[in-house]
Structure 1
């Protein structure tokens, strides 16, 4: 059985970090803030709403579904 060493894990992490935001399917709150220029506090309020359609819950982590988030921004006149 192959053991994955910490160096391999670091290299994989660096590769993931190099993917441009506009190519990612899901974004972290921080990435969504950089992507949309909407503040972290405002995004947290939006994704805390049970009717939010662009949030993906992964355990305690919340990710933003980029394409649905784009649609939300296109249709919003006020955030």
Structure 2
């Protein structure tokens, strides 16, 4: 068995209201130096070693992410 991590974030051109809210809250907390925040989703999958990259991409592209507005990255850990 292997563990695969899929991280999904909104594409840069898509407005991220939650990220903007976090950025505003950081300022109210007195935290300086953070100039941008993008929120996303993090998935950890336990998969058989034989599951190939194409199958993982199909899972991410059709189930975990909306490819119209989101980008994703896949890595085995």
**Scaled by the length of structure 1, what TM-score is found?**
0.23
Instruction: Identify, as 1 or 2, the structure richer in helix.
Output: 1
**Scaled by the length of structure 2, what TM-score is found?**
0.23
